[in-house]
Structures are given as C-alpha cells and as structure tokens.
Structure 1
C-alpha cells in the first residue's frame, strides 16, 4: 500500500512554516517542527524526543513548583493544532503518538470531588479551590482523535485509538479503540486472530 500523502501548502503556509523551522532549529533543537504561535509555561519542566512536531496555536503549561520531568514526550510525537496540555504534576506521552486538533490533556483538578471536602464545596469559586493532581500516562503509538479530552489519573495503553470527542475518565487497556463520553472500549485488537474485534 503506497502512502499518497503530499504537501499541498500554499505560498503563505510555506513561508510561515519556513519561519517556524528556523525557530525550531534555534529553540527546540531535537524537534522536527514547532509551528507558531505556541505558548509554553515552564519549558524547563519538560523533555521531548526527536521528531517532536506541534501544530498551530498549541498551549503547554507546567505551572507551580519548577521540577524536571513534569511533561515527558517520546520520539516522533505529533500534536495537532490548538492542543492544550496541562502538566502541573506529571504527564507522560509515549513515542509515535498522533494527536488531532483541539486535544486536551490535564493532570490537574480545581478541587477534590472524591469525598467530602470543605474546600471544594459549590459555594467556593472554582479558582479558589485547591489544586489536586493525578498522573496521566499515554502509551506508544496511540492515536487521539479530534477534540479528545483526557482527565487526571488516566492511563492509556500502547496502540490505542481514542475516537473524536471522547472524554477519557478511566484507564484504557492497550490495543483498544475507545469512544464516547465517558469513553468506553468498543473494540480490541486480538493478537491471535490478527484483527480488531
């Protein structure tokens, strides 16, 4: 099967990408292409592998205590336009991950809603509630569709596909396709049969 993808960039986008390539080589040396604009808070708290590619208008935040390895991104990870990643505690993204546009990943909650908490009552404004964190992990070769949201504490296994508009609130086992809100597994890859079932 041949790969028929080709570049159909117009002159304006060629120039924009040329500027982005210069920016990438100056400030993101291991990356393939960091398209502008990009907003990164706490860049010293992240690590990324070779081939890292980012679409237009992405926002990456690592607020709070400055510590290495709050956001770890593997090799050949591609993040689509308008993605937003919040890694105030720890987010790990594997190698070969492909994210469509408007993907949201966070390890942070404004408040604690798992038990009775005086500081997370509805009468307390959300931005006054204390932050709570849970690590997020995304395996290798995962494909996140358009508008996917991944919430704190979630682990997504290797080889998964998360359908467009899914809200992932619970762990997804490796080699699964999940969709919906909340996301549920709708198919798994059977290694013995060598097909999706």
Structure 2
C-alpha cells in the first residue's frame, strides 16, 4: 500500500487498518489483508496464496478433516463472502469476487435422480451431498452470486450479479441468471465479446 492510498483513511480508519494487518499476519502470513470480522473454521487442509485480500464479514468453513480449500495468488474477496467446503473448493489466481458471494461444494440432501431426500426429514438430518467446485484463473464473480456444488468456472469468465451457477461455465464466457447461462463468449480473432445465439 502506497502513501497516497493511506490518505483516504481517517485516524480511526488507519487504526482499524493496522489492527487488521496484524490480525492478517497472525492468521494468514502470506495474505495481504484480511479485514475483520472474519469467521474462519478450518478442520481440513487449506492453502492461501500471496496477495489474498478480503473485506469484512469473510466466512471460510472447511468443515471436516478430508475437506480441502485451495486459493491461488492475488485473489480478492469483497465484503461478506462465504466459502463452505465439505470436499474440495479450488480457486485459481487473480480471481475477483464482489460482495455477498456464496460458494458451497455441498448440500443437505439429494433432489435429483432416483435417491431423493424426504422433505419430511429435517434438512440438517439429511445426507450431505458433495461435488468439487473449481474456479479458474482471472475469473470475475459479481455481486450476490451463488456457486453451487459440482461446478467448474473456466478461466477468464465473468459471472453476472445475482446469478446462481448450477452447471459448468466454459472459459472466456459471460454467464448470467438463475440458473446462470452463457450469453457471450470472447472471440480471440476479433478480440470482442460476442453474443451467444
């Protein structure tokens, strides 16, 4: 952080920044800045790359001994991002998250196929169903997005605000909606985003 950036802060803002920097270096020494409050529960394995930053309200839940969270370098999460892991979540390098992003590799119960969960059973007693989540390098995830179990988002893709990602999104795509669908792809020949018909 350079001097002209620090001028944006009041005395109390600088004090808060200093406390957040100390907290960061204790919890995640390689990270650049983790703003408090943060809820971090790591029961399995994790790796967080250099240059990681998060806004206040971060929730990282690695919920069992076999779960794995891998976050690449220069990943930036804004306010109130929540990542829940029961199996595996992998996030590439140079990924940007807007605020209120939710990523989960699991759900309480099964709702497709032959073995579906009984709605009369309380949700927290239903079988946990897991599927790996993988987010490629240089992905941008917009405000209020949910990325659900078993999903892969390809390199340099953009997920529009308020989208729910329920299936794979190919590299170099823009996807929006609930469920998210690809509306544009990057055409390398003309170097433009082209609408998908």
Hey, what's the Cα distance between the residues in 2 that align with 1:138 and 1:113? 24
1:88 and 2:81 aligned: no
Structure 2 match to 1:114: 112
- Give 1:126's aligned residue: 123
Tell me the CA shift for residue 43 of structure 1. Answer: 6.0
Q: TM-score, normalised by structure 2?
A: 0.91
Q: Aligned Cα RMSD in Å?
A: 1.6
Number of aligned pairs? 190
Q: 1:138 aligned to 124, 129, 135, which one?
A: 135
Alignment of 1:32-43 (within 5 A): 32-42=32-42
Contact 2:59–2:80 (CA<8 Å) still a contact in 1? yes
Distance 1:163 1:9, change over 3 A: farther
Q: Provide the rounded CA distance (Å) in 2 between the counterparts of 1:34 and 1:159.
A: 24
Which residue in 1 is equivalent to 2:100? 102
Q: Which runs of 5+ in 2 are unaligned?
A: none
Superposed, 1:152-167 pairs within 5 Å as 152-167=149-164
- Give 5+ residue unaligned stretches, structure 1: none
CA contact (8 A) 2:43 2:63 kept: no
**Residue aligning to 1:22:** 22
Q: Using the TM superposition, name which of 41-50 and 79-88 deviates more.
A: 41-50
**Within 1, Cα distance between the matches of 2:43 and 2:25?**
16
Q: Is the 8 A contact 2:85 2:104 kept in 1?
A: yes
Q: Which has the higher strand share?
A: 2
Contact 2:44/2:68 (CA < 8 Å) preserved in 1?
no
Deviation at 1:44, TM superposition (A): 5.4
What TM-score, normalized to structure 1?
A: 0.91
What per-residue deviation string (whole Å, max 9, x for no partner) do you get for residues 117-165 of structure 1? 36x1111111110101000000000000000000000000000110100
